[in-house]
Structure 1
Amino acid sequence: MDPKPLLWFHFYVCLIGVSSAGFLDRVKQKLGIGNDRGSSNSDNSGTRVSQGALTPVIILPGDGGSQLQAWLERTSVRSNICPMRTNGWTHVWADLDMLIPGLVDCWVDNLKLIYNNITRKTSNPEGVRTQVPGFGDTDSIEYLTGNQLPGSKYLAYIVDMLVDNGYKRNVSVRGAPYDFRKAQNEQEEYFILLKKLVEDTYAANGNHKVTLIGHSLGCLFSLYFLNHQTQEWKDKYINAFIGMGGPWGGAVKPIKVIATGDDLDIAIVSRSKIKDILRTNPSVAALLPSDKFWAKNETLIYTPQKVYNLGNLREFFYDLDFPEGWEFYQDTKNLVYDLIPPGVKTYCLSGTGTATPATYVYKEGGFPKKIPMVISEDGDGTVNRRSLDGCERWKGKQRDEVVTKTFPGAGHRQMTRDKQVLDYIREILFDYQING
């Protein structure tokens, strides 16, 4: 959750209520804010089905859609208000520090990644350890704050719907969060764990095949994972793959964030601060437009002095004095470039009818620091329609069916709570109950 790397960006907009350990707990108590889960854990829901008849579900969140924790043991910090040490693990995503002047610098310094152009891998800054809590559970993808503040609600809408219809948290509906700062090429351990999670979930649910649900960047992670499994393994363990808002061919939005940053519609958030952290994330470069969907001479950024497109993307990065961005792009552009079919029954769900950036226009002297004008095209507000429609290319190219369905007016993040989308996902899963 916009992550711009898609979900990431949308989540910032909601995070006036996001948690900072201790402080927001007190705010929450003061305001009387409770757990925003409604009645999903109760037994007085509507139609329910037998637990044993369900296809278990594993959900892969989008960019910014997993909680992150850090343990600090730093020997130096950028200012004297920045903590050098923490007493164990503490939440850094999502965290209120990003909204507090002064502390936002500490937050950026702890979350940015350091690139090694020899190993072509990223790592945390010295003295910073990070982890993604709750692998296999749904808590850390339902809400982005540890204390489940309503403003950080993300995939809880989907999980609640499933629980209301007979699923059980952390048994038949599981979460597969990941460090969204890194692209698939740095996630070897994650994919090993994901394969084991699929097998364990299959066994724990009466040997019923697993359905993978991905949102946004989670769609690309799901595709990459399935492309690296044997067909025999997929035939045994996977029922279907449901992709929501998949940026199959990338999106234009990330190029503006790399260039200018974004204040994410929060007045006190500095665009340049956000840019400083997002630029270090290879997952941002992994979401840049693909030349399978955009012509190499198609204008992505216009300035009076120069036009940038996929044909001169290297110049774009070097003109920004950001050569590492070009290296990120080289490392990630081919991860799912060929769009190899996933080899399982696939449902692609996407929102349409929302103005989505196609070209950014900077006035004289405005590039890269000023906010550009936007020329838009159809999409879900974050991912361009042409990219969302990418899985149409799989039809007739794999044994299993590929189904595409659009939801007019459903925004990129909003589709995770759109009633029509949730009803359609339920129909897919119940079809397994009847025919599986």
Structure 2
Amino acid sequence: MKLIYNNKTRTTRNNDGVTLRIPGFGFTETVEWLDPSHTATGSYFNPITNLLVSLGHQRNLTLKGAPYDFRKAPNENGQYFIDLKKLIEETYESNSLQPVILIAHSMGGPMSLHFLNLQTQEWKDKFIKSLISLNGAWGGSVKAVKVYAIGDDLGSYALRESVMRIQQITAPSLAWLLPSPLYWKGNEVLIQTDRKNFSLDNLKEYFYDISYPDGWEMKKDTEKYQLEFKPPGVEVHCLYGTEVDTVERLYYKPGTWLDGYPSLIMGNGDGTVNLRSLQGCAHWQNFQKQKIYILPFPKVDHLGILGHKDVLQYISHLVQRP
């Protein structure tokens, strides 16, 4: 799953001889489950799908899935946005001209925002009823910095951070999810060492110091998508977890450097995305006529929100609303 970056075309490609497919577009199965065996640990949108089926919806008819290559940022997902628009229009047409509710999680939030900002207001008024965002990473996350430093085991005992990092840092989407300058000050310390501190202002030096300059190039390719933060022009329900320890800064003790293992200084968030980023949707409240509903859920973590009973109840009330 590693990607190879080309700094002339400013795009990535798979390793030689490797072809990857994104299965199940338009169907629910591959967004309900991260694992085709349907083991409980691989559950993703399954609780929400089960809820909607209990309310009378039908998989693959009134419920559709729109998976994408999560390794890539909007600049390399152009065909996906074309396909998504077509899927929404087809779903609208085949369901008695009912406007569509989009449900997005994590990076799906900013992906949905970019998609909606590509459409005319007339199109959105016709085809979109609302956007439900669950733990949207609107302003990125310090956890992306942590992944560049030491990788992430995705909460699995079977995976090693250091091995996962080899693949993870090649993803342009990781650069896109670095802390946004809209929500972090340029001089705010993200990585602290006794030799030098790193912030957004000198992040280029950080990438060179960890011997991964391609990361800086991918950040340059994707930063404009962080800064394009126009309101989506649709009703938004912004649900997010709070009061879960979330990394805010990496601290390397004196005498160690970036090849060591940092301590993680924690703050408020959902365990993955920092609170200031989760609350990014509040920015649009005074910039669009469509309503923005904001609802925090204390002690609900990044993945837990997908099956939390209060979140499911909120979605249930919303979809049954006239």
State the TM-score, normalized to the length of structure 2. 0.97
Equivalent in 120, 123, 142 of residue 10 of structure 2:
120
C-alpha distance after superposition, 1:295-346 (max 9, x if no partner)? 1111111111111110100000011111100011001111142310000111
CA–CA distance in structure 1, aligned partners of residues 137 and 97 of structure 2: 32
Q: What secondary structure is seen at the aligned counterpart in 2 of 1:212? A: strand
TM superposition shift of 1:171: 0.6
CA–CA distance in structure 2, aligned partners of residues 271 and 401 of structure 1: 41
CA–CA distance in structure 2, aligned partners of residues 159 and 265 of structure 1: 23
Unpaired segments of 5 or more residues in structure 1? 1-110
Equivalent in 258, 263, 273 of residue 373 of structure 1:
263
CA–CA distance in structure 1, aligned partners of residues 37 and 226 of structure 2: 35
TM superposition shift of 1:212: 0.6
- Match of 1:382? 272
1:356 counterpart = 2:243: no
1:209 counterpart = 2:99: yes
CA–CA distance in structure 1, aligned partners of residues 196 and 16 of structure 2: 38
TM superposition shift of 1:281: 0.3
Equivalent in 292, 298, 310 of residue 182 of structure 2:
292
- Match of 2:289? 399
CA–CA distance in structure 1, aligned partners of residues 64 and 197 of structure 2: 45
Q: CA 1:160–1:266 in structure 2 vs 1: closer, same or farther (change >3 Å)?
A: closer
- Match of 1:279? 169
Quote the sequence identity (%): 45
The residue identity in structure 2 corresponding to 1:252 is V
TM superposition shift of 1:365: 4.5
Q: What secondary structure is seen at the aligned counterpart in 1 of 2:133? A: strand
CA–CA distance in structure 2, aligned partners of residues 345 and 265 of structure 1: 33
CA–CA distance in structure 2, aligned partners of residues 211 and 271 of structure 1: 36
The residue identity in structure 2 corresponding to 1:163 is V
CA–CA distance in structure 2, aligned partners of residues 335 and 341 of structure 1: 13
The residue identity in structure 2 corresponding to 1:302 is Q
| Number of corresponding residues | 322
TM superposition shift of 1:270: 3.0
- Match of 2:221? 331
Q: What secondary structure is seen at the aligned counterpart in 1 of 2:265? A: strand
The residue identity in structure 2 corresponding to 1:300 is L
Q: What secondary structure is seen at the aligned counterpart in 2 of 1:277? A: helix
- Match of 1:222? 112
Q: What secondary structure is seen at the aligned counterpart in 2 of 1:135? A: coil
CA–CA distance in structure 2, aligned partners of residues 135 and 333 of structure 1: 27
- Match of 2:86? 196
- Match of 1:426? 316
TM superposition shift of 1:247: 1.1
Equivalent in 115, 123, 133 of residue 233 of structure 1:
123
TM superposition shift of 1:265: 5.1
Q: What secondary structure is seen at the aligned counterpart in 2 of 1:410? A: coil
TM superposition shift of 1:268: 5.2
TM superposition shift of 1:267: 5.1
CA–CA distance in structure 1, aligned partners of residues 104 and 221 of structure 2: 23
1:248 counterpart = 2:128: no
TM superposition shift of 1:364: 3.3
CA–CA distance in structure 2, aligned partners of residues 232 and 268 of structure 1: 48
CA–CA distance in structure 1, aligned partners of residues 102 and 82 of structure 2: 15
TM superposition shift of 1:122: 0.7
Q: What secondary structure is seen at the aligned counterpart in 2 of 1:316? A: helix
Q: What secondary structure is seen at the aligned counterpart in 1 of 2:58? A: coil
- Residue 351 of structure 1 contacts residue 410 of structure 1 at CA under 8 Å; is this kept in 2? yes
Q: CA 1:392–1:420 in structure 2 vs 1: closer, same or farther (change >3 Å)?
A: same
CA–CA distance in structure 2, aligned partners of residues 164 and 146 of structure 1: 22
Q: Alpha carbon RMSD of aligned pairs, Å?
A: 1.2
Q: CA 1:133–1:310 in structure 2 vs 1: closer, same or farther (change >3 Å)?
A: same
- Residue 223 of structure 1 contacts residue 336 of structure 1 at CA under 8 Å; is this kept in 2? no
Greater C-alpha Rg = 1
- Residue 33 of structure 2 contacts residue 42 of structure 2 at CA under 8 Å; is this kept in 1? yes
- Match of 2:236? 346
CA–CA distance in structure 2, aligned partners of residues 266 and 294 of structure 1: 30
Q: What secondary structure is seen at the aligned counterpart in 1 of 2:141? A: coil
CA–CA distance in structure 2, aligned partners of residues 261 and 291 of structure 1: 23
